Amino acid sequence: MSAHALRLSQDEYLAIERAAPFRSEYFNGRMYAMAGGSYRQAVVINNLAFALRIDLANRRCQVTTSDVRVRVDPGGLYTYPDVVVVCGEPLYADSHRDTILNPVFIVEVLSPSTEAYDRGFKSAQYRSMASLQEFALVSQAEPRIEIFRRRPEGGWFFTEAAGLEAVGRIESIACTLPLAAVYENVAFGGEDEADPRP
């Protein structure tokens, strides 16, 4: 990700972002162009969203993918998670109704160019969200889902599902993610195609 050189207010960022043909994240006065994804990553994201939609059928939860912007807190990060689940009425940052404030569950599908960022800075930001009950980091290189669940007494609990026979359990929305479904039509091995940019 490359940073926009000028320091911008949140309102300036949103005005630019709403008119831009590409997506950028924002934090602390800076815009960051988002890296493109791979075919494999897109398949995993679509499989995740489909599996969640099936489990959440007839419940008041909506599943969206990376076109939905999330504001982590009023002074913080604006980002586009790979998968977002909102239960009940979505809360919006303003009258444009294009920035969500209250996700319950978020998924990031890891790539070589973003894994350190997703595991470090972005995960720390997600843990600061009052509405967020769980988030998951999903590998595209092997069948593995890491789930971070908020504890009622504070802190976060970590669990992992690995292997195509495994099932990830998302307790906050009472869903299961069979890894065989998450990784359907995904071929492992060979060179990772996650970031084709030079």
Tell me: do 80 and 151 sit in the same domain.
Answer: yes
Type and span of the H or E element at 114? none
* Number of domains within the chain: 2
Q: How confident is the model at residue 190 (pLDDT cuts 50, 70, 90)?
A: low
- CATH value at residue 68: 3.90.1570.10
Distance CA 154, CA 122 (A): 19
Tell me: do 143 and 65 sit in the same domain.
Answer: yes
With a cut of 80, say whether residue 4 has pLDDT above it.
no
Q: Quick: pLDDT tens for 109-135.
A: 999 888 999 999 999 999 999 999 999
Tell me: do 67 and 103 sit in the same domain.
Answer: yes
Residue 16 structural domain: 1-34
Q: Which two tokens stand for residue 125?
A: 């930001």
Tell me: do 27 and 113 sit in the same domain.
Answer: no
Is 191 among the domain residues? no
Is 195 among the domain residues? no
Is 2 among the domain residues? yes
Taking a C-beta distance cutoff of 8 angstroms, is the pair 31, 58 a contact?
A: no
Is 50 among the domain residues? yes
Is 188 among the domain residues? no
Tell me: do 105 and 23 sit in the same domain.
Answer: no
Bridge-partner residues for 92, per DSSP? 100
% of the chain exceeding 70 in pLDDT: 92
Tell me: do 71 and 108 sit in the same domain.
Answer: yes
With a cut of 50, say whether residue 194 has pLDDT above it.
no
Tell me: do 28 and 80 sit in the same domain.
Answer: no
Is 198 among the domain residues? no
CB burial of residue 158 (10 Å; 0-12, 13-18, 19+):
exposed
Tell me: do 57 and 107 sit in the same domain.
Answer: yes
Q: Quick: pLDDT tens for 84-111.
A: 999 999 999 999 999 999 999 999 999 9
Is 8 among the domain residues? yes
How many beta carbons lie within 10 A of that of residue 51, not counting itself?
21
pLDDT of residue 77: 95
Tell me: do 26 and 61 sit in the same domain.
Answer: no
Tell me: do 86 and 146 sit in the same domain.
Answer: yes
The least confident of 12-26, 65-79, 140-154 is 65-79
Q: Quick: pLDDT tens for 10-53.
A: 999 999 999 999 999 999 999 999 877 889 999 999 999 999 99
pLDDT of residue 86: 98
| Sequence-distant (≥ 6) Cβ neighbours of residue 6 within 8 angstroms | none
Tell me what the mean pLDDT of segment 137-164 comes to: 96
Is 194 among the domain residues? no
Tell me: do 15 and 71 sit in the same domain.
Answer: no
Tell me: do 19 and 47 sit in the same domain.
Answer: no
